[in-house]
Structure 1
Amino acid sequence: MKRENTVKLAITAVFLAILILQTFVPNIGYIRILPALPAITTVPLTVAVYSSLLSPSYGIVFGLIWGLTRLIVAYTQPGDMVSLLLFRNPIIALVPSLFAGFLPSLLTNYFTQKNLEIKKWVYALNGCIASITNTVLVIVLASLFFMKNPNELIANIGNFTAGMPLFLVLLTSLGINGLIEAIFTALVTPLIVSPLHYIMERA
Protein backbone atom coordinates (compact mmCIF):
# COMPACT_ATOMS: atom_id res chain seq x y z
CA MET A 1 0.00 0.00 0.00
CA LYS A 2 2.82 2.39 0.89
CA ARG A 3 4.56 1.67 -2.42
CA GLU A 4 1.29 2.22 -4.29
CA ASN A 5 0.77 5.59 -2.59
CA THR A 6 4.34 6.58 -3.41
CA VAL A 7 3.75 5.78 -7.09
CA LYS A 8 0.54 7.82 -7.12
CA LEU A 9 2.26 10.79 -5.49
CA ALA A 10 5.11 10.59 -8.00
CA ILE A 11 2.64 10.52 -10.91
CA THR A 12 0.74 13.44 -9.41
CA ALA A 13 3.93 15.49 -9.05
CA VAL A 14 4.90 14.85 -12.69
CA PHE A 15 1.46 15.76 -14.02
CA LEU A 16 1.26 18.88 -11.86
CA ALA A 17 4.58 19.99 -13.33
CA ILE A 18 3.23 19.38 -16.86
CA LEU A 19 0.05 21.31 -16.03
CA ILE A 20 2.04 24.28 -14.74
CA LEU A 21 4.18 24.31 -17.89
CA GLN A 22 1.10 24.12 -20.09
CA THR A 23 -0.52 26.95 -18.17
CA PHE A 24 2.29 29.47 -17.94
CA VAL A 25 4.56 28.74 -20.93
CA PRO A 26 3.13 30.29 -24.13
CA ASN A 27 1.82 27.98 -26.88
CA ILE A 28 2.19 24.75 -24.93
CA GLY A 29 -1.11 24.37 -23.11
CA TYR A 30 -3.02 27.17 -24.82
CA ILE A 31 -2.56 27.53 -28.58
CA ARG A 32 -4.00 30.75 -29.95
CA ILE A 33 -5.23 30.55 -33.56
CA LEU A 34 -7.78 33.38 -33.76
CA PRO A 35 -6.89 36.42 -31.61
CA ALA A 36 -10.50 37.23 -30.68
CA LEU A 37 -11.34 33.73 -29.43
CA PRO A 38 -10.07 31.67 -26.49
CA ALA A 39 -7.09 29.49 -27.30
CA ILE A 40 -7.38 25.83 -28.20
CA THR A 41 -6.09 24.05 -25.13
CA THR A 42 -4.15 20.81 -24.81
CA VAL A 43 -4.71 20.75 -21.03
CA PRO A 44 -7.75 18.39 -21.31
CA LEU A 45 -5.31 15.79 -22.67
CA THR A 46 -3.22 16.05 -19.50
CA VAL A 47 -6.35 15.92 -17.35
CA ALA A 48 -7.75 12.93 -19.26
CA VAL A 49 -4.49 10.97 -19.02
CA TYR A 50 -4.06 11.66 -15.31
CA SER A 51 -7.70 10.88 -14.53
CA SER A 52 -7.51 7.63 -16.50
CA LEU A 53 -4.61 6.48 -14.35
CA LEU A 54 -5.92 7.32 -10.89
CA SER A 55 -9.12 7.21 -8.84
CA PRO A 56 -12.01 9.73 -8.96
CA SER A 57 -10.77 11.46 -5.79
CA TYR A 58 -7.45 12.19 -7.51
CA GLY A 59 -9.19 13.19 -10.74
CA ILE A 60 -11.49 15.70 -9.08
CA VAL A 61 -8.59 17.34 -7.21
CA PHE A 62 -6.50 17.55 -10.37
CA GLY A 63 -9.41 19.09 -12.23
CA LEU A 64 -9.83 21.60 -9.42
CA ILE A 65 -6.15 22.54 -9.65
CA TRP A 66 -6.57 23.10 -13.40
CA GLY A 67 -9.48 25.41 -12.65
CA LEU A 68 -7.41 27.36 -10.14
CA THR A 69 -4.59 27.84 -12.66
CA ARG A 70 -7.15 29.03 -15.21
CA LEU A 71 -8.49 31.53 -12.69
CA ILE A 72 -4.97 32.78 -11.92
CA VAL A 73 -4.13 33.22 -15.61
CA ALA A 74 -7.35 35.17 -16.20
CA TYR A 75 -6.23 37.69 -13.58
CA THR A 76 -2.51 37.80 -14.34
CA GLN A 77 -2.01 37.19 -18.09
CA PRO A 78 -5.26 36.76 -20.05
CA GLY A 79 -4.61 36.17 -23.73
CA ASP A 80 -7.91 37.65 -24.95
CA MET A 81 -10.93 39.55 -23.69
CA VAL A 82 -13.25 36.53 -23.88
CA SER A 83 -11.00 34.47 -21.59
CA LEU A 84 -10.71 37.42 -19.24
CA LEU A 85 -14.48 37.87 -19.04
CA LEU A 86 -15.20 34.15 -18.68
CA PHE A 87 -12.50 32.83 -16.41
CA ARG A 88 -12.38 35.65 -13.89
CA ASN A 89 -15.65 34.14 -12.75
CA PRO A 90 -14.58 31.43 -10.25
CA ILE A 91 -17.56 29.21 -11.07
CA ILE A 92 -16.87 29.24 -14.83
CA ALA A 93 -13.17 28.64 -14.17
CA LEU A 94 -13.53 25.88 -11.58
CA VAL A 95 -16.70 23.84 -12.22
CA PRO A 96 -15.98 22.71 -15.83
CA SER A 97 -12.38 21.84 -14.91
CA LEU A 98 -13.49 19.91 -11.84
CA PHE A 99 -15.94 17.74 -13.79
CA ALA A 100 -13.43 17.29 -16.63
CA GLY A 101 -11.11 15.64 -14.11
CA PHE A 102 -13.77 13.68 -12.25
CA LEU A 103 -15.82 12.02 -15.03
CA PRO A 104 -12.96 10.24 -16.88
CA SER A 105 -11.61 8.76 -13.65
CA LEU A 106 -15.10 7.62 -12.71
CA LEU A 107 -15.47 5.85 -16.06
CA THR A 108 -12.05 4.18 -15.75
CA ASN A 109 -12.93 3.06 -12.23
CA TYR A 110 -16.09 1.39 -13.54
CA PHE A 111 -14.20 -0.53 -16.27
CA THR A 112 -11.15 -1.29 -14.14
CA GLN A 113 -11.50 -5.09 -14.46
CA LYS A 114 -12.01 -5.15 -18.23
CA ASN A 115 -9.45 -6.37 -20.74
CA LEU A 116 -6.88 -4.07 -22.33
CA GLU A 117 -8.69 -3.77 -25.68
CA ILE A 118 -11.86 -2.49 -24.01
CA LYS A 119 -9.80 -0.17 -21.81
CA LYS A 120 -8.25 1.44 -24.91
CA TRP A 121 -11.72 2.45 -26.05
CA VAL A 122 -12.49 3.66 -22.53
CA TYR A 123 -9.34 5.79 -22.55
CA ALA A 124 -10.32 7.30 -25.90
CA LEU A 125 -13.78 8.03 -24.52
CA ASN A 126 -12.15 9.58 -21.46
CA GLY A 127 -10.26 12.00 -23.66
CA CYS A 128 -13.43 12.97 -25.47
CA ILE A 129 -15.37 13.33 -22.22
CA ALA A 130 -12.74 15.53 -20.55
CA SER A 131 -12.70 17.95 -23.45
CA ILE A 132 -16.44 18.01 -24.20
CA THR A 133 -17.38 18.32 -20.51
CA ASN A 134 -15.15 21.35 -20.18
CA THR A 135 -16.47 23.01 -23.34
CA VAL A 136 -20.16 22.34 -22.71
CA LEU A 137 -20.08 23.48 -19.09
CA VAL A 138 -18.19 26.66 -19.99
CA ILE A 139 -20.82 27.46 -22.64
CA VAL A 140 -23.77 26.70 -20.34
CA LEU A 141 -22.38 28.59 -17.34
CA ALA A 142 -21.32 31.58 -19.45
CA SER A 143 -24.81 31.71 -20.97
CA LEU A 144 -26.32 31.82 -17.48
CA PHE A 145 -23.96 34.39 -16.00
CA PHE A 146 -24.08 36.74 -18.99
CA MET A 147 -27.80 36.27 -19.61
CA LYS A 148 -28.69 39.79 -18.41
CA ASN A 149 -25.90 41.52 -20.31
CA PRO A 150 -24.91 39.28 -23.26
CA ASN A 151 -23.57 42.17 -25.36
CA GLU A 152 -20.62 42.54 -22.99
CA LEU A 153 -19.40 39.13 -24.10
CA ILE A 154 -20.70 39.08 -27.70
CA ALA A 155 -18.99 42.39 -28.49
CA ASN A 156 -15.61 40.75 -27.85
CA ILE A 157 -16.31 37.56 -29.81
CA GLY A 158 -16.79 39.12 -33.21
CA ASN A 159 -18.93 38.82 -36.30
CA PHE A 160 -22.35 37.77 -35.06
CA THR A 161 -25.77 39.18 -35.90
CA ALA A 162 -27.18 41.59 -33.34
CA GLY A 163 -29.82 39.91 -31.21
CA MET A 164 -28.46 36.41 -31.79
CA PRO A 165 -28.90 34.33 -28.58
CA LEU A 166 -25.74 34.23 -26.49
CA PHE A 167 -25.91 30.43 -26.18
CA LEU A 168 -25.77 30.06 -29.99
CA VAL A 169 -22.93 32.56 -30.24
CA LEU A 170 -20.91 30.64 -27.67
CA LEU A 171 -21.82 27.28 -29.17
CA THR A 172 -20.62 28.47 -32.58
CA SER A 173 -17.45 30.19 -31.44
CA LEU A 174 -16.31 27.88 -28.64
CA GLY A 175 -17.82 24.71 -30.10
CA ILE A 176 -15.33 24.64 -32.99
CA ASN A 177 -12.42 24.79 -30.56
CA GLY A 178 -14.10 22.18 -28.39
CA LEU A 179 -14.58 19.79 -31.31
CA ILE A 180 -10.92 20.05 -32.33
CA GLU A 181 -9.83 19.52 -28.72
CA ALA A 182 -12.16 16.52 -28.27
CA ILE A 183 -10.91 14.73 -31.41
CA PHE A 184 -7.25 15.38 -30.55
CA THR A 185 -7.67 14.31 -26.91
CA ALA A 186 -9.66 11.17 -27.80
CA LEU A 187 -6.99 10.03 -30.27
CA VAL A 188 -3.94 10.70 -28.11
CA THR A 189 -5.15 9.70 -24.62
CA PRO A 190 -5.09 5.89 -25.16
CA LEU A 191 -1.63 6.13 -26.76
CA ILE A 192 -0.27 7.63 -23.56
CA VAL A 193 -2.39 5.91 -20.91
CA SER A 194 -1.99 2.29 -22.05
CA PRO A 195 1.81 2.05 -21.57
CA LEU A 196 1.69 4.15 -18.38
CA HIS A 197 -1.00 1.91 -16.92
CA TYR A 198 1.10 -1.16 -17.76
CA ILE A 199 4.11 0.39 -15.97
CA MET A 200 1.97 1.26 -12.94
CA GLU A 201 0.69 -2.31 -12.65
CA ARG A 202 4.25 -3.67 -12.67
CA ALA A 203 5.57 -1.06 -10.21
Structure 2
Amino acid sequence: MRTTTLKNLRTRNLAITAIFVAILLIQTFAPNIGYIRILPTLPAITTIPLTIAVYSSLLGYKKGTEFGLLWGITRLIVAYVQPGDLVSLLLFRNVFISLIPSIVAGLVPGVISKLKSKISSPIVYLLAGAFTSLANTFFVILLTTLFYFNNSKALLQALNSQNSNNSLFVILILALGFSGLVEMIFTAIATSVIVLPLKRVLERNI
Protein backbone atom coordinates (compact mmCIF):
# COMPACT_ATOMS: atom_id res chain seq x y z
CA MET A 1 0.00 0.00 0.00
CA ARG A 2 2.79 2.43 0.93
CA THR A 3 4.69 1.65 -2.28
CA THR A 4 1.56 2.29 -4.34
CA THR A 5 0.95 5.59 -2.57
CA LEU A 6 4.53 6.76 -3.19
CA LYS A 7 4.28 5.74 -6.82
CA ASN A 8 1.02 7.65 -7.20
CA LEU A 9 2.58 10.67 -5.49
CA ARG A 10 5.56 10.66 -7.86
CA THR A 11 3.27 10.29 -10.87
CA ARG A 12 1.09 13.15 -9.65
CA ASN A 13 4.10 15.39 -9.02
CA LEU A 14 5.52 14.58 -12.44
CA ALA A 15 2.22 15.51 -14.09
CA ILE A 16 2.06 18.77 -12.11
CA THR A 17 5.62 19.59 -13.10
CA ALA A 18 4.91 18.95 -16.79
CA ILE A 19 1.88 21.24 -16.68
CA PHE A 20 3.77 24.04 -14.95
CA VAL A 21 6.76 23.75 -17.30
CA ALA A 22 4.34 24.13 -20.23
CA ILE A 23 2.76 27.18 -18.57
CA LEU A 24 6.20 28.71 -17.94
CA LEU A 25 7.26 28.21 -21.57
CA ILE A 26 4.04 29.80 -22.83
CA GLN A 27 4.48 32.73 -20.47
CA THR A 28 8.09 33.13 -21.57
CA PHE A 29 7.78 32.97 -25.33
CA ALA A 30 4.19 34.06 -26.09
CA PRO A 31 3.92 37.87 -26.33
CA ASN A 32 2.35 39.78 -23.43
CA ILE A 33 1.49 36.75 -21.30
CA GLY A 34 4.46 36.29 -18.98
CA TYR A 35 6.01 39.68 -19.66
CA ILE A 36 3.56 42.56 -19.99
CA ARG A 37 5.18 45.71 -21.35
CA ILE A 38 3.60 49.03 -20.36
CA LEU A 39 6.50 51.45 -20.88
CA PRO A 40 9.02 50.58 -23.61
CA THR A 41 11.96 52.02 -21.65
CA LEU A 42 11.34 49.91 -18.53
CA PRO A 43 11.36 46.16 -17.84
CA ALA A 44 8.04 44.41 -18.24
CA ILE A 45 5.65 43.54 -15.45
CA THR A 46 5.92 39.77 -15.22
CA THR A 47 3.25 37.27 -14.22
CA ILE A 48 5.79 34.44 -13.96
CA PRO A 49 6.40 34.87 -10.19
CA LEU A 50 2.79 33.72 -9.73
CA THR A 51 3.54 30.47 -11.56
CA ILE A 52 6.71 30.01 -9.50
CA ALA A 53 4.90 30.75 -6.22
CA VAL A 54 2.05 28.33 -6.91
CA TYR A 55 4.36 25.51 -8.03
CA SER A 56 6.74 25.87 -5.09
CA SER A 57 3.85 26.13 -2.62
CA LEU A 58 2.41 22.89 -3.98
CA LEU A 59 5.57 20.81 -4.31
CA GLY A 60 7.95 22.34 -1.77
CA TYR A 61 11.13 24.37 -1.78
CA LYS A 62 13.40 21.74 -3.41
CA LYS A 63 11.23 21.39 -6.49
CA GLY A 64 10.54 25.12 -6.33
CA THR A 65 14.26 25.91 -6.45
CA GLU A 66 14.68 23.68 -9.52
CA PHE A 67 11.71 25.37 -11.16
CA GLY A 68 13.20 28.77 -10.34
CA LEU A 69 16.42 27.68 -12.04
CA LEU A 70 14.43 26.77 -15.14
CA TRP A 71 12.85 30.24 -15.11
CA GLY A 72 16.32 31.79 -14.85
CA ILE A 73 17.53 29.79 -17.86
CA THR A 74 14.53 30.84 -19.97
CA ARG A 75 15.04 34.44 -18.81
CA LEU A 76 18.64 34.29 -20.01
CA ILE A 77 17.58 32.83 -23.36
CA VAL A 78 14.94 35.52 -23.89
CA ALA A 79 17.50 38.24 -23.18
CA TYR A 80 19.55 36.96 -26.12
CA VAL A 81 16.91 35.90 -28.64
CA GLN A 82 14.01 38.35 -28.09
CA PRO A 83 14.77 41.12 -25.57
CA GLY A 84 11.74 43.36 -25.23
CA ASP A 85 13.56 46.46 -23.99
CA LEU A 86 17.09 47.80 -23.55
CA VAL A 87 17.03 47.50 -19.75
CA SER A 88 16.13 43.80 -19.88
CA LEU A 89 18.83 43.25 -22.50
CA LEU A 90 21.47 44.91 -20.31
CA LEU A 91 20.36 43.15 -17.13
CA PHE A 92 19.39 39.62 -18.05
CA ARG A 93 22.23 38.78 -20.38
CA ASN A 94 24.20 38.58 -17.17
CA VAL A 95 24.03 34.96 -16.00
CA PHE A 96 23.98 35.89 -12.31
CA ILE A 97 21.22 38.49 -12.65
CA SER A 98 19.11 36.01 -14.64
CA LEU A 99 19.65 32.95 -12.47
CA ILE A 100 20.10 33.99 -8.83
CA PRO A 101 16.87 36.05 -8.39
CA SER A 102 14.90 33.32 -10.17
CA ILE A 103 16.34 30.55 -8.00
CA VAL A 104 15.68 32.49 -4.79
CA ALA A 105 12.14 33.24 -6.00
CA GLY A 106 11.59 29.49 -6.40
CA LEU A 107 12.99 28.70 -2.97
CA VAL A 108 11.09 31.31 -0.93
CA PRO A 109 7.43 30.21 -1.36
CA GLY A 110 8.24 26.58 -0.57
CA VAL A 111 9.94 27.62 2.67
CA ILE A 112 7.14 30.00 3.68
CA SER A 113 4.48 27.39 2.91
CA LYS A 114 5.92 25.23 5.69
CA LEU A 115 4.55 27.78 8.18
CA LYS A 116 0.94 26.77 7.41
CA SER A 117 0.80 24.72 10.63
CA LYS A 118 1.52 27.92 12.63
CA ILE A 119 -0.29 30.54 10.55
CA SER A 120 -3.64 30.27 8.76
CA SER A 121 -3.26 28.94 5.21
CA PRO A 122 -4.66 31.98 3.34
CA ILE A 123 -2.15 34.28 5.04
CA VAL A 124 0.73 31.86 4.47
CA TYR A 125 0.06 31.66 0.73
CA LEU A 126 -0.50 35.41 0.56
CA LEU A 127 2.95 35.86 2.10
CA ALA A 128 4.43 33.18 -0.15
CA GLY A 129 3.23 35.02 -3.24
CA ALA A 130 4.29 38.45 -1.97
CA PHE A 131 7.80 37.33 -1.00
CA THR A 132 8.29 35.43 -4.27
CA SER A 133 7.85 38.65 -6.20
CA LEU A 134 9.74 40.73 -3.62
CA ALA A 135 12.72 38.34 -3.60
CA ASN A 136 12.94 38.43 -7.38
CA THR A 137 12.80 42.25 -7.57
CA PHE A 138 15.18 42.78 -4.64
CA PHE A 139 17.88 40.44 -5.95
CA VAL A 140 17.62 41.85 -9.48
CA ILE A 141 18.19 45.35 -8.05
CA LEU A 142 20.96 44.22 -5.69
CA LEU A 143 22.91 42.24 -8.30
CA THR A 144 22.45 44.93 -10.94
CA THR A 145 23.88 47.49 -8.52
CA LEU A 146 26.88 45.24 -7.81
CA PHE A 147 27.64 44.47 -11.45
CA TYR A 148 27.02 47.98 -12.81
CA PHE A 149 28.44 49.95 -9.88
CA ASN A 150 31.57 51.01 -11.81
CA ASN A 151 30.02 50.91 -15.27
CA SER A 152 26.51 52.32 -14.99
CA LYS A 153 26.49 54.77 -17.91
CA ALA A 154 24.69 52.54 -20.43
CA LEU A 155 22.15 51.36 -17.85
CA LEU A 156 21.44 54.88 -16.56
CA GLN A 157 20.99 56.06 -20.13
CA ALA A 158 18.50 53.25 -20.74
CA LEU A 159 16.66 54.33 -17.59
CA ASN A 160 16.70 57.98 -18.74
CA SER A 161 18.63 58.87 -15.56
CA GLN A 162 22.09 59.60 -16.91
CA ASN A 163 22.35 62.96 -15.19
CA SER A 164 20.88 61.87 -11.87
CA ASN A 165 22.88 62.46 -8.70
CA ASN A 166 21.22 59.53 -6.93
CA SER A 167 22.99 56.21 -6.43
CA LEU A 168 22.36 53.44 -8.93
CA PHE A 169 20.58 51.42 -6.21
CA VAL A 170 18.10 54.26 -5.57
CA ILE A 171 17.55 54.80 -9.29
CA LEU A 172 16.80 51.12 -9.80
CA ILE A 173 14.33 51.11 -6.91
CA LEU A 174 12.57 54.13 -8.40
CA ALA A 175 12.62 52.67 -11.92
CA LEU A 176 11.57 49.14 -10.99
CA GLY A 177 9.47 50.01 -7.96
CA PHE A 178 6.17 50.45 -9.78
CA SER A 179 6.34 47.19 -11.73
CA GLY A 180 7.66 45.39 -8.63
CA LEU A 181 4.79 46.68 -6.47
CA VAL A 182 2.17 45.67 -9.05
CA GLU A 183 3.76 42.22 -9.38
CA MET A 184 3.88 41.74 -5.60
CA ILE A 185 0.22 42.63 -5.02
CA PHE A 186 -0.96 40.53 -7.96
CA THR A 187 1.20 37.52 -7.04
CA ALA A 188 0.26 37.63 -3.35
CA ILE A 189 -3.51 37.69 -3.93
CA ALA A 190 -3.53 35.25 -6.84
CA THR A 191 -1.28 32.71 -5.07
CA SER A 192 -3.58 32.59 -2.05
CA VAL A 193 -6.67 32.22 -4.25
CA ILE A 194 -5.16 29.50 -6.46
CA VAL A 195 -3.14 27.36 -4.05
CA LEU A 196 -5.79 26.72 -1.39
CA PRO A 197 -8.31 24.88 -3.62
CA LEU A 198 -5.53 23.09 -5.52
CA LYS A 199 -4.07 21.83 -2.24
CA ARG A 200 -7.43 20.46 -1.15
CA VAL A 201 -7.96 18.65 -4.45
CA LEU A 202 -4.46 17.17 -4.48
CA GLU A 203 -4.63 16.01 -0.86
CA ARG A 204 -7.95 14.24 -1.50
CA ASN A 205 -6.46 12.35 -4.43
CA ILE A 206 -3.35 10.97 -2.71
TM-score (norm 1): 0.95
TM-score scaled to structure 2, two decimals? 0.94
Q: Unaligned stretches of 5+ in structure 2?
A: 1-5
For 2:142 and 2:56, the matched residues in 1 are separated by 23
Q: Tell me the distance in 1 between the aligned counterparts of 2:12 and 2:44.
A: 33
Q: Work out the CA distance in 2 between the residues paired with 1:55 and 1:126.
A: 12
Structure 1 residue 24 corresponds to structure 2 residue 26? no
Where do 1:126-141 residues align within 5 Å? 126-141=128-143
Q: Secondary structure at the match of 1:27?
A: coil
Structure 2: which amino acid aligns with 1:147?
A: F
Say if 2:19 is the partner of 1:14: yes
Runs in 1 of length 4+ with deviation above 2 angstroms?
A: 159-164
Count, aligned residues: 200
Once the 2 structures are TM-superposed, how far is the Cα of residue 91 of structure 1 from its aligned partner?
Answer: 0.3
Distance in structure 1 (CA, Å) of the matches to 2:132 and 2:39: 23
CA contact (8 A) 1:56 1:109 kept: no
CA positional deviation for 1:160: 5.9
Match of 1:177 in 2: 179
Q: Which runs of 5+ in 1 are unaligned?
A: none
Letter of the 1:97 partner, please give it: S
Fraction of identical pairs, as percent: 53
Contact 2:125 2:191 in 1 (8 A): yes
Match of 2:112 in 1: 107
Alpha-carbon RMSD across the aligned residues, in angstroms, is: 1.2
Equivalent-residue separation in structure 1 for 2:61 and 2:115 (angstroms) = 10
Residue aligning to 2:3:
none
Distance 1:146 1:81 in 2: 15
Question: Partners in 2 of 1:160 and 1:130 — Cα distance?
Answer: 31
